[in-house]
Amino acid sequence: MKNNDRLGISLFLIPTIVIFISFFLVPVISVFITSFADWNGLTEFSFVGLDNYIRLFTYDNTFWVASKNLLLWCLITIFFHVPFGGVVAYILYKNPFGGKFVRVVYMIPNIIAASAWAIMYRFIFNNDFGVINNFIRAIGFEDFSVNWFYDPDTAFIAVTFTWVFFSIVNTLLILAALQAIPKEIHEAAQIDGATEWETATKIDIPLIKPALSTCMILSLAGIITQFEVIFLTTRGGPGNKTYNLALMLYDGIMSNDYGYANAVAVLMIILGISILIISNKLFGVNKEEA
C-alpha cells in the first residue's frame, strides 16, 4: 500500500475515531470509574471502592430476583426464540405459497415502536375486554378471569409473550444466510442421495453458524437491556416477578444513586461481552478453516 493511500485512509478514519472516543469510549470508561464511587450525578463523587458491588451482590435481594428472571428469559431465548426464527426462515427459504405475504405480516410488530406495542399488549391481556380472555370465555370457560400483567402467577408469562414470537430480525438474518449457500452444494447432495433432513442438518446449519451466532448475540443482548415493554406493562411487578437489571439501573438513576446504578450498568456490559465471546466459541465463529 502506498503512503498516499495510507494517508487518505487515515484521514477518513479520523472522524470515526473521534466520534467513537467521544460518544462511546469516554462514557463507558466514566461508567466504570463512577461505579466505584458514591455519586448522585450532580456533586463531586467520592470513591468507596467495592461498596456498590458488595451491596449489589450481598444486600440487595432484588438483584438475585432480577438475575433469576434474566436467566429464565435467556433460556427461553436460546431454546425457543432464536430456533423459532430459524424455523420460520427455513420455511420461507423453501419459497412456499404466500411466503412473501407471511414475511410482510411477520415484520409488522417489529416496525411498531416498543412503547406502542407494550400499550397494545396491555389491552390484549386486559381482563375485561382483552382478546385473550374473551377468546377463552368464548370457547366455554365463561368464568375465566385473569389479570395477566397484575397476577403474580401470570405476569412473567404475559411479558414473555410480548416478544418471544416476534423474531423477524433472526428470521431475516438466517434467511439471508440460507439464500447465500451456493445451489451447487445442494445439487451435489441430491445426487449423493441426501434426504431433506440430512441436507438441513449437515449442510445448511453448519454453513449458517455465523448467522446463528449473530442472532444469539442480538437476542440475548436485547433481553439483558429490555426496558420499555416491562416498564410500560408491569414496572417489574407484581412482587418483582418481572424485575430485571435494566429496571434496577432505572431505579438507581431515579434515586440519584448513580454510583450504584453504574455498578449495575458495568455488570450488564460484562454480561454482553461474555455472551459475545461464548456465542462465538460455541458456534466456532472466526475459526480458520483447515
Show the domains of the chain with their CATH numbers.
61-282 (1.10.3720.10)
Residue 1's pLDDT is: 54
Residue 3's pLDDT is: 62
Residue 288's pLDDT is: 47
Q: Which amino acid is at 236?
A: G
Distance CA 172, CA 175 (A): 5
Q: Are 40 and 257 in contact (CB under 8 A)?
A: yes
Q: Which residue has the cell 426496558?
A: 227
Q: Which amino acid is at 196?
A: E
Q: Which residue has the cell 449458517?
A: 208
Residue 289's pLDDT is: 46
Q: Are 208 and 93 in contact (CB under 8 A)?
A: no
Pick from 56, 91, 43: which is nearest to 261 by CA? 56
User: pLDDT tens-digit profile of 117-142?
Assistant: 888 999 999 988 889 999 999 998 88
Q: Which amino acid is at 238?
A: P
Sequence-separated (6 or more) residues with CB below 8 Å from residue 199? 186, 189, 190
Residue 28 CB-half CA count within 13 A: 10
User: Mind spelling out the 3-state secondary structure of 105-144?
Assistant: HHHHHHHCCHHHHHHHHHHHCCCCCCHHHHHHHHCCCCCC
Residue 40's pLDDT is: 85
Phi/psi region, residue 103 (left: phi>0; alpha: psi -120 to 50; beta: rest), is alpha
Q: Which amino acid is at 198?
A: E
Residue 4's pLDDT is: 64
Q: Which residue has the cell 472522524?
A: 15
What's 55's DSSP letter?
A: I
Report if pTM > 0.85. yes
Sequence-separated (6 or more) residues with CB below 8 Å from residue 151? 238
Is omega for the bond preceding 210 within 30 degrees of 0, making it cis?
Answer: no
Residue 281's pLDDT is: 83
Residue 108's pLDDT is: 81
Distance CA 56, CA 260 (A): 8
Sequence-separated (6 or more) residues with CB below 8 Å from residue 284? 209
Residue 11's pLDDT is: 80
Residue 181's pLDDT is: 92
Distance CA 203, CA 184 (A): 12
Low-confidence ranges of the chain (pLDDT < 70): 1-5, 284-290
Beta strands in the chain (DSSP E): 37-38, 46-47
Residue 233's pLDDT is: 92
Give the 3-state secondary structure of residue 47: strand
Q: Which amino acid is at 273?
A: I
